[in-house]
């Protein structure tokens, strides 16, 4: 797996660093935010956003 594959949706290739297709919910945490998003292909993602940036914590299958 190359860097581009790790930084994009495995179902459709939408880049993780691009704006999410849809923000489902956003919750504040002590360190920043947890953001639930839906990719253009329907995959649900959980993202952590904090001082170090954004990272995808978990992805679901296509919705």
pLDDT digits (tens, 9 = 90+) for 34-60: 999 999 899 999 999 999 999 999 998
Between CA 63 and CA 54 the distance in angstroms is 22
Average pLDDT, the chain: 86
What is this structure's pTM?
A: 0.77
pLDDT at residue 5, as a whole number = 46
Contact by Cβ (8 Å): 20, 12: no
Residue 5, classed as helix, strand or coil, is: helix
Q: Is 6 helix (H, G, I), strand (E, B) or coil?
A: helix
Q: Check the CA dihedral 35-53-22-7 and report its sign.
A: negative
């Amino acid at each position: 797996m190359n860097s581009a594959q790790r930084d994009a949706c495995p179902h459709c290739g939408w880049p993780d660093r691009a704006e999410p297709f849809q923000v489902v919910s956003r919750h504040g945490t002590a360190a920043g935010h947890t953001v639930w998003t839906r990719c253009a292909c329907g995959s649900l993602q959980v993202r952590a956003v904090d001082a170090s940036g954004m990272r995808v914590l978990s992805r679901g299958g296509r919705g």
